C-alpha cells in the first residue's frame, strides 16, 4: 500500500499506433483481457511506473501487449476527464506512432487477449474514452502530414511514389493529380530516387528513399515567414 497526504490520480499511457498496408490506414488495438471493459477493444497502454518517464512507460506497455518495440513515439495530449475510468481517477498521456506495418509482427501479451490491426474506418466499439483519443490523434495526423514528412514512417525504406500518394489520399480524404504530386515530392529535395522495380503489369516505378539528413538540413535553413 502507498500512502499520500493528498489524493493522487493514477496515470496511464496509451499509444495510437498507425500502420499502412499498401492501401489502407490501420490502427493497432488490443482486446482487453481484464476488467474493466474486459473483452472490449482498446488502445495498447497501461499504468506508468514511478521510475520511468511517460515515454518509457508507453513503450514498455506497447511491447508487453503487442510485442512491438523500438519505435518512435510522440506525446500529443493528456486526457483528464474526471470520470473517464470507472475504478478511480485516472488520467492518460496519449502518444502517436507511425510504423511500417509489415515490418513488425503483432503478438498479443500481458493483459491483452488479442492484438490486431483495424482499418481506420472500421473500428470496433472501444473501451474508456479511447474513441475520443483516436479522433484527436486523427486530427493531429492530418495536421502533421501536411507539414512534416511522417508518411515515410509508414513506408518501407524504399517505396514508390504511388504508395506515398496513397497515404496522403487516405489520410486527407482527397485525391491528387499524379503528375503534380510527383513533381512536388521530388522538388522537396529529400525524396531520393534509387533503383527500379517491376511488379506486375505496367511500367516499373522508381523506388525512392527518404533522406532524413537532407530533410533536417532544410528545416535548419528554412525561413519561417
Partner DNA sequence: ACAAAAGTGTTCAGCGTACACCCATGA
Partner DNA sequence: TCATGGGTGTACGCTGAACACTTTTGT
3-state secondary structure at position 191: strand
Take residue 171 and report the three cell numbers written for it: 489520410
Between 88 and 195, whose beta carbon lies closer to a copy of itself? Answer: 88
Calpha distance 222→37 (Å, rounded): 48
What's the closest the beta carbon of residue 196 comes to DNA, in angstroms? 6
Q: Which of 54, 62, 127, 185 binds a copy of itself (CB under 8 A)?
A: 54
Take residue 117 and report the three cell numbers written for it: 490491426
109, 28 Cβ separation under 8 angstroms: no
Between 180 and 198, whose beta carbon lies closer to a copy of itself? Answer: 180
Residue 196 found at the interface with DNA (CB under 7 A): yes
Residue 160 interacts with, from DNA, a copy of itself, none (CB under 5-8 Å by kind): DNA
Residue 221 interacts with, from DNA, a copy of itself, none (CB under 5-8 Å by kind): none
Take residue 94 and report the three cell numbers written for it: 496519449
Residue 50 found at the interface with a copy of itself (CB under 8 A): yes
Site for a copy of itself in 117-156 (CB under 8 A): 142, 146
Calpha distance 49→33 (Å, rounded): 20
Take residue 162 and report the three cell numbers written for it: 504511388
Amino acid at each position: 500500500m502507498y500512502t499520500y497526504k493528498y489524493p493522487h490520480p493514477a496515470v496511464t499511457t496509451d499509444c495510437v499506433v498507425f500502420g499502412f498496408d499498401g492501401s489502407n490506414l490501420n490502427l493497432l488495438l488490443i482486446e482487453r483481457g481484464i476488467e474493466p471493459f474486459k473483452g472490449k477493444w482498446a488502445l495498447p497502454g497501461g499504468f506508468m511506473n514511478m521510475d520511468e518517464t511517460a515515454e518509457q512507460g508507453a513503450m514498455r506497455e506497447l511491447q508487453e501487449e503487442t510485442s512491438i518495440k523500438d519505435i518512435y513515439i510522440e506525446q500529443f495530449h493528456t486526457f483528464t476527464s474526471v470520470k473517464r475510468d470507472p475504478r478511480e481517477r485516472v488520467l492518460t498521456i496519449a502518444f502517436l506512432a507511425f510504423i511500417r506495418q509489415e515490418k513488425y509482427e503483432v503478438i498479443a501479451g500481458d493483459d491483452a487477449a488479442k492484438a490486431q490491426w483495424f482499418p481506420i474506418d472500421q473500428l470496433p466499439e472501444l473501451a474508456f474514452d479511447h474513441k475520443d483519443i483516436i479522433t484527436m490523434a486523427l486530427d493531429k495526423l492530418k495536421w502533421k502530414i501536411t507539414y512534416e514528412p511522417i508518411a515515410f514512417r509508414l513506408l518501407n525504406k524504399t517505396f514508390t511514389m504511388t504508395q506515398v500518394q496513397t497515404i496522403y489520399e487516405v489520410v486527407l480524404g482527397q485525391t491528387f493529380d499524379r503528375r503534380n504530386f510527383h513533381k512536388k515530392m521530388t522538388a522537396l529535395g529529400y525524396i531520393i530516387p534509387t533503383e527500379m522495380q517491376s511488379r506486375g503489369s505496367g511500367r516499373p516505378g522508381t523506388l525512392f528513399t527518404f533522406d532524413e539528413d537532407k530533410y533536417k538540413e532544410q528545416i535548419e535553413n528554412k525561413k519561417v515567414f
